[in-house]
Structure 1
Amino acid sequence: MASIKFSIRNPIKNKRCSINYYVSIARGKRIRGSTNIKTLPKYWNPQTQLLRNKVEISNTRDDINEKLKKFDSFVYEKINSYHTNDLDEIQFRLKNDIEIFFDKKKKEDKPLKLLEFYDWYIEHYKSHPLPTTGNILGKGTAKTYKNAYRIIKEFNDTMYKLEYKSITVSFYDDFITFLTDQDYSLNYIGTQVKVLKTMMGSSFEKDLHQCLDFKKKYFKKPSEEVSNIYLTVEELEKIENVDFSDFKNIKIKESFILTKELAERARDLFLIGSFTGLRISDYTKLNSDNLIEEKGKPYLRVKSQKTRKFVTIPLHSILKAILNKRLNEFPKYMPDQHINYAIKEIGKIAKINDSYTKEITKGGKKVTFSDKKYKFICSHSARRSFCTNAYLSGMPVIDIMQISNHSTEKVFYNYIKLNDIEKAEKISSNTFFK
């Protein structure tokens, strides 16, 4: 599988030069570096790739040549010991082992450290399929993992140095306390634990450690049900009917001024998400190529950025109206945060003014927020509105999940947001109560 060569690069007469190694693994994957061994060019034999049989170096020649000869078998043994065909992983681990072999790195540093593994995992799976899903890491997930890396690195830098063996039940308590003291919400704390468990599980599968406390029931992901909003069909129609003719520019922050054109674009993008069930990473990047027709009916066909699966969605009348208004073109891309800024202002104009209360655990304490509903609208409310409204309309859950790509009914039911009155109204439509 691998080929190995030694050479002296840019040899200078009468000057000791480093012997460099070149390991070609496969398909362009290479490792190169210094062996930490130096010699005069006249003692190097490029044909045998060993030191020449010279009296002047007889004291060290045999040891050096033996080291170089052993390197060949060392590389093959290491590659076989990794039990993987993933060339990036082989390259990453072999480079670490080679540095140990040539005494460039202490042996106790041999296993890829936990924080290093975070970094490797994120970068590697951006372009390689995850073993669990067969899909690459989505941009949103990669961002979540990068934030988790930043937070656990902060713990590492301020509390105590982390190794795989540090991840114990005792560590779990300390980490939860640390996150709580940072005033994070309970669900955000749960995200940090979930990512850590993912990293520990993946590194365990790669034989980097044998530490299994993270699998214990105690080492759980904290979570709580939070009442995130959805907009009713009537509220969405109010947003659709907002008149922007007298709209004045709004300075949201130094870097963003909400203009009439941006407000209309944000409104249309939000409505597209609300009547397709697409994630924001998908509904902000649609173009006319996503429109198809089957048996005379128009559909939207999209490959999900997160799941890499295709989904085909019938066009709602509101989506048809948006396309008709825009001459069959979709609104241009708009960043997530800009939509968040804009949709609150649009909700205010549309008078989405019902009182709304949200309760979360933050910093270990229950915190309640009460305000007008429009202040809680965000870009993600669109997808949740679709799922909830489709469910209330009587659309079979299996059909909604075909569009939303929720993995299980349990996940779906936790995702849609109905209060007890709305649930009762849905139940009352059953023939049992007639």
Structure 2
Amino acid sequence: MRTVENLRGRVRFAFKDSITILKKNPKKESLIFLHFSYGERFKYSTGYKSCYNDWNFEKQRIKTTKAGILNANEVNEHLSNLETYIYKQFSRLIAEGKGIKKSELRKLLDDFTHRNIERENKSELNFLQFTDYFISLKKKEVKPGTLKSYKQTVRLLKEYSSDKKDGLNFLNFDKAFYNNFTHYLTEKSYNVNTIGKHIGNLKAILNSANMEGIEVNMRFKARDFKAISELTKAIYLTPDEIEAIKNKDLSKYENLERARDIFLIGYYTGQRVSDYNGLTRDDIVIEDGIECFEIRQKKTGTLVLCPITIEIREIMKRYNNSPPPKMPDQKINLYIKQVGQMVDINEKIFINYIENGKKERKPEFKYNLIGTHTARRSFCTNKYREKMPIYDIMYFSGHTTEKEFYKYIRISKQDRAIHIAKSGYFNL
């Protein structure tokens, strides 16, 4: 007995982002990808975006009953045409006895959607030309901060190519290149985490080229071609230091006072600066009799309720019972250092850095290391020391794993051991 083999494959349409993320932020737009399974897995960007609220998951199409989406039928027709076309071409290739290559499927769809005209012939692009195409592609897909990071990496790759007289052929991205490029960045005094960021971005570029059907040296996917990282010397402020900042009379210095107050709201809520700088009265809600800030975290799209504490109410009294007006992050970083110096947060901290390609170590006053990020880190570390459950802290901070949380807070192994010992699970 035998069965008839299914040679048609299977098409489905799905979002680039996970359903878990989109459920939490149902209006967040995400790219729609065509996924084709035929023994292998192939995916292709449709070029259109939608959101959780507007998507019919059963039909895998945009809801046509949703008011305000004027081109829903046009987009759905495009998706249906893509589905019909890939089935037709797949059947043709099978009938002709040809092997099914992902690069061939991508080329067929590019021809069908006329995307090849927009991109030129990518197979003829050299690596540096492809990086320009990669940037133009990512403009529609990623956040401004990520795009800026990609542009920085491309700029450094072009500088490296010029300085080292290296044409950067797609087939030459091997371990030797990895060593040479990371050494080049080290000589330019970039720190380990920055170098790791640029290696990660390079891997994204090479992976994109590979998906476009360009022949790439796959050595870049090896474990030793990695985006390196190390813990940074970020500091946290103790409860006493926070109290000193809170109690400092800054009424004669309007900018210092506002920067201090914004920083403290970041500390009392445990949020990122992108979420705590710029809160308004419209962000205040009352849940079960408790006044809270309702914050949709910009990085994750997660909705959190942060209780408005007594300390926050005292701050808001200075601004007609509203949060302080938004201030540029750079200004907050500048002013909060001055406040730290004014209240004598002058402990000397030894920091590691790279200069002329060599690792160096030097002392720095603690107040010079205070920044907008210090508020959230101080919240996490101090709440941990106060025995608040980790998952409760993570609810506010936005960390998704304990591993990332422990990397973020500034706790020694000895402190962590004592914290665990006092958790009630040991008979002491």
**TM-score, normalised to structure 2's length?**
0.69
* Match of residue 152 from structure 2: 147
Please tell me whether the aligned partners of residues 186 and 360 of structure 1 are also in contact (alpha carbons under 8 angstroms): no
Q: What's 2:168 paired with?
A: 162
Matched, 1:187 2:203: no
CA 114–26 in structure 1, closer or farther in 2 if over 3 Å, else same: closer
Quote the residue 1:82 is aligned against: 106
Determine the structure 2 residue equivalent to 1:266. Answer: 259
Three-state SS of the structure 2 residue aligned to 1:278 is: coil
2-structure distance, mates of 1:420, 1:117: 47
Asked if 1:295 corresponds to 2:270, the answer is: no
Q: How far apart, CA to CA, are the structure 2 residues paired with 1:114 and 1:26?
A: 19
Cα distance, 1:142–1:298 mapped onto 2, change above 3 Å: farther
Q: Name the counterpart of 1:173.
A: 179
Gaps of 5+ in 1: 1-24, 28-72, 101-105, 127-136, 248-259
CA distance in 1, matches of 2:209, 2:169: 12
Deviation readout 1:48-90 (Å, 9 max, x if unpaired): xxxxxxxxxxxxxxxxxxxxxxxxx9xx99x994389999x96
- Residue deviations 1:193-250 (CA, integer Å, cap 9, x gap): 11212222233334344431111011012222233101112211111111124x5xxx
| C-alpha contact 1:276 1:313 (8 A) present in aligned 2 | yes
The answer for the alignment partner of 2:219 in structure 1 is: 213
Secondary structure, in 3 states, of the residue corresponding to 1:124?
coil
Which secondary structure does the structure 2 equivalent of 1:390 belong to? helix
Q: In structure 1, how many angstroms separate the alpha carbons of the residues matched to 2:294 and 2:271?
A: 11
Question: Structure 1 CA distance, aligned partners of 2:234 and 2:47?
Answer: 50
Shift of the alpha carbon at 1:425?
5.2
TM-superposed CA distance for 1:362, in Å, is 5.2
* Structure with the greater alpha carbon radius of gyration: 1
Q: CA deviation at 1:351?
A: 1.4
Q: Which position in structure 1 is the counterpart of 2:98?
A: none
Aligned to 2:71: none
Look up the SS of the partner of 1:351 in the other structure: coil
| Residue range with higher mean Cα deviation, 360-369 or 335-344 | 360-369
Amino acid corresponding to residue 377 of structure 1 in structure 2: I
- Post-superposition Cα deviations, 1:83-142, rounded to whole Å, max 9, x if no partner, equal 89999x966543234xx5xxxxx972389944224412441224xxxxxxxxxx2x4333
1:315 Cα deviation after fit: 2.2
Counterparts of 1:200 and 1:303, CA distance in 2: 34
Which residue number corresponds to residue 94 of structure 1?
117
Moved more, 177-186 or 351-360: 351-360
Q: Tell me which residue corresponds to 2:139.
A: 123
Out of 271-280 and 314-323, give the one that drifted further. 314-323
SS of equivalent residue, structure 2 residue 204: helix
SS, match of residue 410 in structure 2: coil
Which residue type is aligned with residue 82 of structure 1? Answer: R
Q: Call closer, same or farther: CA 1:172–1:329 in 2, change over 3 Å.
A: same
The answer to whether the Cα contact below 8 Å between 1:300 and 1:315 also exists between their aligned partners in 2 is: yes
Distance 1:382 1:26, change over 3 A: closer
Task: Report the 3-state secondary structure (helix = DSSP H, G, I; strand = E; otherwise coil) of the residue aligned with 2:349.
Answer: strand
Alignment partner, residue 41 of structure 1: none
Cα distance change on mapping 1:325 and 1:179 into 2, 3 Å: same
Name the CA shift for 1:212/1:90 in 2 (closer, same or farther; >3 Å). farther
Counterpart contact for 2:189–2:354, Cα < 8 Å: no
2:345 partner SS: coil
How much has 1:148 moved relative to structure 2?
Answer: 2.2
Aligned residue for 2:286, secondary structure, equals: strand
Q: How does 1:56-75 map to 2 (within 5 A)?
A: none
Counting aligned pairs with the same residue, the percent is 34
Are the aligned partners of 2:131 and 2:205 in contact in 1 as well (CA < 8 Å)?
no
Amino acid at match of 1:273: G
Q: Is the 8 A contact 1:112 1:208 kept in 2?
A: no
Please name the residue that 2:268 is paired with.
275
Counterpart of 2:153, as a letter, is A
- CA positional deviation for 1:321: 1.8
For residue 177 of structure 1, give the secondary structure of its aligned residue in structure 2. helix
Aligned twin of 1:197? 203
Q: Are residue 366 (structure 1) and residue 359 (structure 2) matched?
A: yes
One-letter identity of the residue aligned with 1:143: K
Q: Gaps spanning 5+ residues in structure 2: where?
A: 1-45, 49-84, 90-102
**d(CA) in 2 for partners of 1:338 and 1:197?**
34
Q: Which letter does structure 2 place at the counterpart of 1:189?
A: I
Counterparts of 1:357 and 1:298 in 2: how far apart (Å)?
A: 41
* Equivalent-residue separation in structure 2 for 1:390 and 1:273 (angstroms): 14
Cα distance in 1 between the residues matched to 2:283 and 2:399: 21
Shift of 1:372: 2.3
**8 Å contact kept, 2:337–2:369:** yes
Aligned position for 1:330: 323
